Amino acid sequence: MKCKIIAVTILLLIVGIIGIEPILCETLAEPPSNFGEPDAGTEENPFLIANLANLRWLSETEEVWRNAYHDQQYHFLQTADIDASETIHWYDGYGGKGFLPIGRDKVFSENYFCGRYDGNNKTIKNVHIDISPNEIMITGYYLAAIFHSVHSATIKNIIAENIIATDGNSYWFGRMIGRAESSTIAYCSVTNGGLIYTANNASIDNSFVTGHVSKLTPRSLYIGGLVDFATNTTIRNSFFYGSISHEIEYPRLGGLIGLSINSIVQHCYVTSSSEFINIAGLIGALTRTTVTNSFWDIEMTGTIDPFNQIPNETNVITNVFGRTTTVMKQASTYTDNGWDFENTWTIDPNVNNGYPFLRNMPEPVLSGSDHTIVPLVRSVVYPNPVRGNEVTFKLSSVVGDTSYSPHIRGNTSHTPHIHGGGKGGDLNISIYNIRGQLIKKSNDFQTRDGENVFVWNRRNENNQEVASGVYFYRIYTPQTNTADSMNASVLTGKFLILK
């Protein structure tokens, strides 16, 4: 493997000497070992991507991508795991622009990747991509993804881990694919990063994301655990198990999809390693979308809402349920709703933390360090048990406060902290039992010392005292600076009542 030696001379003023030269080894592009063979790149003899040098060759060789108007579609087969950690230093030494995404379609170029890439269940990990404004001007791309844009392509059997993006000031997690147009994505997984930013006329099957997902661009308007924005796309037999951070006040935030238009979702589920903040269990916003036989964990996500907006008549919603963690880990939950546990899914208490996983894929990697790069905005955590006859909810009324800092006062109060400009009468709270049944709804918030307080006497709408157990709440506060109810703030959480 060829290396480019970058010498960095450091002047040591303290001792007045020059001469320490750290050496960075930058992997240069090399064509696959079978590149010169007459039938190389065909289905019978795909280009072999055996190392980082070969992957860089694919990234930098636009001739083998082909766009949608060329007949030739090359085939690629990854033959070994690839660690791209050094891409953080590429091109400019320290602080370089990192990995150049494959299929960089500069403005109006339509220079997509249109090939067939088989990851062969090998990993591509620790890819660093710089999308700072100066690099966008130079390179013409702006989506931090291994594959920037694919069209009429097939991407399968890739295991991606730690796709790291930067704009020069901060870091977050990128995507495996930026834009997928009329393409098939199957048997792919991502740990710490999303699967696809935008999918149109795409088919996504047997895929999953674990770890952490965050915004893709500084101006992202939607975030989904699997796909951020789906149009005319089918997603089947897939799941998300991780955490999502965001700075968005719009409803386009979902555990599976941020925004869905004219799409189909079947046999999918969502669970979380960190409670959701204003994030729907399945899809943030949707229209003309069909969702069937899909689930989310209401305890782990902390939300009882599958969608952040009430589905209108253009959507078809069938057998969509929020379930407790225990129920989510039972095979009958899924088989009773048509899931294939003979060929597609399986379940094992020692794998994937007991949740279902896909038979024909490597075991999911549950990242233990998914918060190391992107700090999460904290939501309400599972509180100390509530004892006594009253539960107190205390909310800050400071406009624009985005810090969620829950705390418990004594053993009788559950006191979350929420942002929003609503006054006491604008706020309303809904409390649900473990089955998702509405127990109590009220807007009886009182203003005390500049804060909004609601005290619940543990009685339902029929004035009957509720039993001990786990309960969920949903607090809604409209913004006072806009007439658009879509900008309202919603906070969900859970608490435990003990006798």
Contact 152, 117 (CB under 8 A): no
Instruction: Report pTM.
Output: 0.71
pLDDT grade for 93, boundaries at 50, 70 and 90: very low
Note the pLDDT of residue 111: 77
CATH 2.60.40.4070 residue ranges in the chain?
386-498
Rounded average pLDDT over 20-24: 41
**386-498 CATH choice from 3.30.300.30, 2.40.160.60, 2.60.40.4070, 2.70.150.10:** 2.60.40.4070
pLDDT grade for 245, boundaries at 50, 70 and 90: confident
List CB contacts of 437: < 8 A, sequence separation 6 or more: none
Note the pLDDT of residue 423: 41
Q: Rounded to whole angstroms, how far apart are CA atoms 331 and 342? A: 11
pLDDT grade for 400, boundaries at 50, 70 and 90: very low
Q: Rounded to whole angstroms, how far apart are CA atoms 405 and 386? A: 18
pLDDT grade for 37, boundaries at 50, 70 and 90: very high
CATH 2.160.20 residue ranges in the chain?
34-358
Decide if pLDDT at 291 tops 90: yes
430-459 pLDDT tens trace: 887 766 678 888 888 777 666 677 788 888
Decide if pLDDT at 285 tops 60: yes
Q: Which position has the higher pLDDT, 144 or 342?
A: 342
298-317 pLDDT tens trace: 888 888 889 987 667 889 99
The share of the chain scoring above pLDDT 90, in percent, equals: 42
**34-358 CATH choice from 2.60.120, 3.30.43, 2.160.20, 1.10.3470:** 2.160.20
Decide if pLDDT at 401 tops 50: no
Decide if pLDDT at 341 tops 80: yes
How many other C-beta atoms lie within 10 A of the C-beta of residue 173?
25
Contact 18, 11 (CB under 8 A): yes
Decide if pLDDT at 47 tops 50: yes
Decide if pLDDT at 99 tops 70: yes
How many other C-beta atoms lie within 10 A of the C-beta of residue 287?
14
Bridge partners, residue 459, by sequence: 465
